[in-house]
Chains A and B, each alone.
Chain A
Amino acid sequence: MGLSSKDLTGLKDLSPEDIGLILETAAGFKDVLGRDIKKVPALRGKTTVTLFYEPSTRTRTSFELAAKRLSTDVINISVSTSSVVKGETLIDTARNVEALGADFIIVRHSSSGIAQFLAKKLKASVINAGDGTNEHPTQALLDLFTIQEKKGRLNGLKVAIVGDILHSRVAKSNIYGLTRLGAEVRLIGPPTLVPGCLKDLGVRIFYDMDKGLQGADIVMMLRIQTERQGKGFFPSAEEYFRNWGLTTARLAAADPDALVMHPGPMNRGVEIASDVADGGRSVILEQVTNGLAVRMAVLYLLSGTKQ
Chain B
Amino acid sequence: MPKVLLDKKDIERAITRMSHEIIEKNKGVTSLFLIGIQRGGVHIANRLAARLRDIEGSSIPVGTLDIALYRDDINVRKEQPVVRRTQVPGEISGQKVVLVDDVLFTGRSIRAAMDAVMDLGRPSAIQLAVLVDRGHRELPVKADFVGKNIPTSRDETVTVQLAEDGSEDRVVLEWA
Contact = CB atoms under 8 A, between A and B. Distances in A.
B13 to A, nearest CB: 34
Size class of the contact patch on chain B: 10 to 19
**Which of B80, B83, B85, B121 gathers most chain A CB within 10 Å?**
B83
B80 A28 contact: no
A43 B74 CA distance: 8
Contacts of B70: 40-42
A40 B68 CA distance: 10
Interface residues of A, number: 23
**Which of B80, B82, B86, B115 gathers most chain A CB within 10 Å?**
B80
A166 interface: no
**Which of A24, A31, A32 gathers most chain B CB within 10 Å?**
A31
Interface in B69-102: 69-70, 74-75, 79-80, 82-87
Contacts of B87: 31
Contacts of B164: none
A85 interface: no
Given A37-B119, A40-B119, A32 B69 contact: yes
Contacts of B83: 24-25, 28-29, 297, 300
A35 B119 contact: yes
A162 interface: no
Interface of A: 1-2, 24-25, 27-29, 31-32, 35-37, 39-43, 70, 297, 300-301, 303-304
Interface of B: 66, 68-70, 74-75, 79-80, 82-87, 115, 119-121
27 contacts: A1-B79, A1-B80, A2-B79, A2-B80, A25-B83, A27-B85, A28-B66, A28-B84, A29-B83, A31-B66, A31-B85, A31-B87, A35-B119, A36-B121, A37-B119, A37-B120, A39-B119, A40-B70, A41-B69, A42-B70, A42-B74, A70-B69, A300-B69, A301-B80, A303-B80, A304-B79, A304-B80
